[in-house]
Amino acid sequence: MWSSNAFLKRCEKLKELGLSAEPDTGMRVARGFADLGYEEFYCLSNKKLVSIFTGHLSDLTSEHARFFFEIPPVEELIDRILKQRYDVEAFTYVDQRVWSTQFRHTQSGELLETSDREFSCSIAEALLHIAQKGRQ
């Protein structure tokens, strides 16, 4: 199953903030196209990509690698948040419509809360907030 454009947009933003690994074997990656949205791929060995949409095999050349960004699993996003000294406060599915995620900073006690219809987007949004705050 592929990711929503909303989640992919957040993953692309994580790359812009330097929080995306380079494409590697076994990884899911995507690239954006201005007029079409995103296309997702699995990275295979020998610098090959397979499109999740079409099954087409292609080479991942070094000159094109910069256009791709990682699609991390949600559990990895949560792990990255925990490594920034946040603890999980709560994950709540509000009225079976919106995910509310809450993380508390272990030192300052600051509460970080995000919400979105998609759990993955809410988690990615929390990591984006932490990353942007760290750049200020």
User: pLDDT tens across 85-116, in order?
Assistant: 999 999 999 999 999 999 999 999 999 999 99
What is residue 73's three-state secondary structure?
Answer: coil
Residue ranges of domains in the chain, CATH in brackets: 5-70 (2.30.30), 74-135 (3.30.160)
Q: Which pLDDT tens digit goes with each residue over 2-23?
A: 899 999 999 999 999 988 888 8
CA dist list (Å): 44 to 24, 27, 29, 107, 124: 8, 8, 11, 41, 25
Q: Is 95 left (phi over 0), alpha (psi -120 to 50) or beta?
A: left
Residue at 18: amino acid letter? G
Rounded distance between C-alpha atoms, residue 136 and residue 131, angstroms = 9
Tokens representing 37 are: 């949205």
- The answer to whether the CB of 27 falls within 8 A of the CB of 21 is yes
Task: For Cα atoms 52, 28, 80, give the angle at the middle one, nearest 5 degrees.
Answer: 150
Indicate the pTM of the whole model. 0.91
